[in-house]
Structures are given as structure tokens and as C-alpha cells.
Amino acid sequence: MGMTYVQKLLAKACGRSQTAVGDVLEPPVSLAMSHENGALVINQFDEIFQGTGREAKIWDPERIALIFDHRVPAESAKTATNHKKIREFVAKQGIRKFHDIRGDVGGVCHQILPENGYVRPGYVVVGTDSHTTSHGALGAFSFGIGATEMASVWTLGRILNVEVPGTIKVVVDGKFPEGVYPKDLILHLIGQVTSEGANFKVFEFHGATIRAMSTSGRLVLCNMSVEAGATSGLVPPDEETRRYLQEEAGVREPLDCFGPDPDAVYEQTIAIDASRLEPQIACPHTVDNVKPISAVAGKMVQQIVIGSCTNGRLDDLEIAARILKGRRVADSTRLLIFPASWRIYREAMKRGALTDLAAAGAVICNPGCGPCLGIHQGALGDKEVALATTNRNFKGRMGNPNAEVYLCSPAVAAASAITGAITDPRSLTVPQGAR
């Protein structure tokens, strides 16, 4: 029987000719990523070895990545102490895929992994972060796990008791209309599937729209697949995957690119015509509460965030800069920019996007997770409303349970910054240069 992409990937990883949905496997892990919660993983890892008489050594230091992004630079003594604990562990274990708080190699984990070529097609990737689903954009089976699960991976080098998931095939055709982006597509899909509709399943993305989409856009789709409950989102690798990994991530080794079998069996197929989409907004307090922008346009917002592992890439910043250049952030709101990595930050600086955004009134923050989960910068005041290009709008998400978060694309965020209210970028009437 034909296999879907994830079935085939897991069969290859486990050295089997076939896998069926529901098979229990223990695939070797190609890459294991943690961020600041590595401090908890270290604690659990040490506990596994306690009383065993064995030296607590990780299975393969080359397959572990540790990235500081959630609270950078440290906002408290507690965080700084966690950072210190992780640095000491990294030195002791000889981990080289370590990204400290630095303007050259630093950034958000879900951008650092792709841009450094740490993820390849066919890889099994686990991360102690739910948005580890992102890396399916490069053809990996990549999913979030808890810290204790990670400690087990660090010990054994494989992930225990994984059930081969069923696959939902998502076929996207048609050209995006002006002002509509991959973010709108994934919000629309989550709205359709609901927040738990893909629980324990994966999305496999196909269609002409996906083939024509940059890796940056595919990362948006896979990043947010978890918001429908999916274990992972996957884009079977193609020419764009090769181009990105070889040209942008500097990968020299041969790539194992394969696709699903033509007679693969899918649990469900969802067809979407991208040409019929309009900008989408996820309304409080669940990501599946998705409405077309026409239903919420005019809602006043006091904070706008552009950035994060979802939409903090160069194309996102340039879309925002093009809209805001020569215009002005409304006095009634504030605009925060969080590039996804320092490489992106420096490139956006060189190209002038950051200057244009700052000149319009945006505050350029350092790459990091920042306000997305309300743990560092950009907390909301009571009864404030935020509009963000991030991935979650749960109650309390941006640091305040008495506030609201709406989610959107960078274009909607930029247009709304000018008016101070949720605004369709296609309807902007304030001319550039008007201040």
C-alpha cells in the first residue's frame, strides 16, 4: 500500500520498507532542539542518570541544538542563572550548535535551525517547543515534546513510542490576490479544521501555490500547523527546498529528497483555492476563531507586533516597511518589530527596511520571542487590544489575562499601524508621505 510522506520518512528513518498509521516506532533523532527550557531538560537528564553509576553524557553532541531566544537578554536574575547553567552544560558536553545572545549568530530557534542548515529533508526533529512543527517546511518530521521527553532523547538518541500519524492532505492552488499571504492561508485552514481537528495527525501540503511558495512562506504554514493540533506540518521537499538549503543555508552535503507514494492513503483531503482568500484575522481567545478581515476591520488596537518565529523573516519585514515607508504609526498605537534572527536583522538594516520602519515610529527590538508569550517585553495593559503577526492569541498570552490579542499577516499589521485600527492593506487611503 502506498505511503504518505511522513509514513515513508519514518520507514526510512527506522530502516523498514513499510509503515502503517498507528505503528509504534522508536526512530533515531536527527536533531534535538531546546531553548531556555533546556535548563529543565538538564535537570531531568541528571535525574535519569542518578544512582545509575553512569556518567551523564548526551548521546551525540552534534545532534543537539541549544538556542537562547525566549528571554534575551535576560530580564531577571533567574533567567540569567538558567542561561549560565545551560552555557556550562554546553561547554561540558561539547555541544557546538549553540546560539548564545549574540548579534552574529543569535535569533529565534525556529529561524536559527533553517538558516544554519541544521534541518534537512527526511530528518526526524524534536524540540522542546510546540512550534517545532515549523521545520516540516524543509521536509523533516518535526514536532514538539516536553522537557522530560527531551531528557530521554538526550540519553538514548531516539524518541520512544512514536505512533505513525495519519495524514491530512492539504492541496492549495491558485494565486494569492494582492494583500493576501501564506499567513492568511494557514489562518483560514485552522479556522476550517478547528484547534483540535488535526490532533495526533499531520498536514502534508501540496498544490501549485505551495510549489511556488518560498521557504519563508512554507515555514509560516508549518509553524502554525500545531494550532490545529497537528503533530507536524510537512512540505515534501522540492527544488525550492534544495535552493534554500544550498543557497541560503550553505548546505554542501547531498540531500535526500523524496515524495509520498502516488497511491498514498490520506485520512482526509482539503482543497483550498488561494485566489479566493481575503486577509484573515484570528480573534480572541482561540486561534481557530478566524474571520475574514471585513468582519473585524475598524477594531482599535493599542499595540501591534510584527515578528516572531511565525512572521519575522526578511520578506515579512520588507512587506511592512514598504507599507509604512513615508507614513506614520498612529499616536493611539505602538508598533514593535521583532526580527526572527540577527542575520535577518542585519540584512533588513542593510536594505533600509528597519530604518524605514523606525522612521515611521516603530520600535525595533532585538530578535527573540519577546511579547509573543508575554515573558519579556511588550506586555499589554488591562483591557488593551493587540494585533500581532505571532501565532497564538490565548487568554493571557501577551502577558495579561485582561487583554486581547488578534492575529494577522505582516501586511495587515503594517496597514493597521498607520490607522490604529484593524485595516485591510488593500483599502489604505492615507497616501505615503502624509504625516
Partner 1 sequence: MAKEKVVLALGDDISTDIIYPGRFMATVLPKETPQFAFVDNAEFNRRLKAKEIPAGSMIAAGKNFGCGSSREQAVSCLKGYDLAVVAKGIARIFLQSAINLGLNIVICPEVEAAAGDELEIAEGQVRNLTSGKSFAITPLPKARQSIIDAGGLIPYTRALLLARR
Tell me which residues touch partner 1 (CB under 8 A): 24, 36-37, 39-40, 43-44, 47-49, 52, 54, 70-71, 76, 78-79, 82, 127-130, 132, 144-149, 151-152, 155-156, 160-163, 195-196, 199-200, 229, 231, 285-286, 373-375, 379, 392, 394-397, 399, 401
Q: Which lies closer to partner 1 via its Cβ, residue 54 or residue 175?
A: 54
By C-beta, is 43 or 294 nearer to partner 1?
43
Distance CA 393, CA 414 (A): 18
Closest approach, Cβ 226 to partner 1, in A, equals 8
Question: Whole-angstrom Cα distance, residue 147 to residue 71?
Answer: 18
Minimum gap (Å) between residue 149 Cβ and partner 1: 6
Minimum CB distance to partner 1, residue 9 (Å): 18
The residues that bridge with 273 in the sheet, in sequence order, are 173
Q: Which residues pair with 358 in a beta bridge?
A: none
Whole-number Å distance between alpha carbons of 118 and 288: 31
Decide whether 64 or 151 has the Cβ nearer to partner 1. Answer: 151
Burial class from Cβ neighbours inside 10 Å (0-12, 13-18, 19+) for residue 60 reads middle
Q: Minimal distance in Å, beta carbon 388 to partner 1?
A: 14
Question: Shortest Cβ distance from residue 6 to partner 1 (Å)?
Answer: 14
For the bound state, the minimum distance from the C-beta of residue 219 to partner 1, rounded and expressed in Å, comes to: 18
Minimum CB separation of residue 369 from partner 1 in Å reads 9
Minimum CB distance to partner 1 smaller for 232 or for 241: 232
Between 70 and 343, name the residue whose CB sits nearer to partner 1. 70
3-state SS, the chain, equals: CECCHHHHHHHHHCCCCCCCCCCEECCECCEEEECCCHHHHHHHHHHHHCCCCCCCCCCCHHHEEEECCCCCCCCCHHHHHHHHHHHHHHHHHCCCEEECCCCCCCECHHHHHHHCCCCCCCCEEEECCHHHHHHHHHCCEEEECCHHHHHHHHHHCECCCEECCEEEEEEEECCCCCCCCHHHHHHHHHHHHCCCCCCCEEEEEECHHHHCCCHHHHHHHHHHHHHHCCCEEECCCCHHHHHHHHHHCCCCCCCCCCCCCCCECCCEEEEEEHHHCCCEEECCCCCCCEEEHHHCCCCECCEEEEEHHHHCCHHHHHHHHHHHCCCCCCCCCEEEEECCEHHHHHHHHHCCHHHHHHHCCCEECCCCCHHHHCCCCCCCCCCCEEEECCCCCCCCCCCCCCCEEEECCHHHHHHHHHHCECCCHHHCCCCCCCC
- Least distance in Å: CB of 80 to partner 1? 9
CB of 111 or CB of 152, closer to partner 1: 152
* Smallest gap from residue 46 Cβ to partner 1 (A): 10
Nearer to partner 1, 112 or 354 (CB): 112
Q: Which is nearer to partner 1, 60 or 347 (CB)?
A: 60
Is there a contact between 178 and 277 (Cβ–Cβ < 8 Å)?
no
Tell me the closest approach of the beta carbon of residue 199 to partner 1, in angstroms.
6
231 or 311: CB nearest partner 1: 231
Judged by beta carbon, residue 161 or residue 429, the one nearer partner 1 is 161
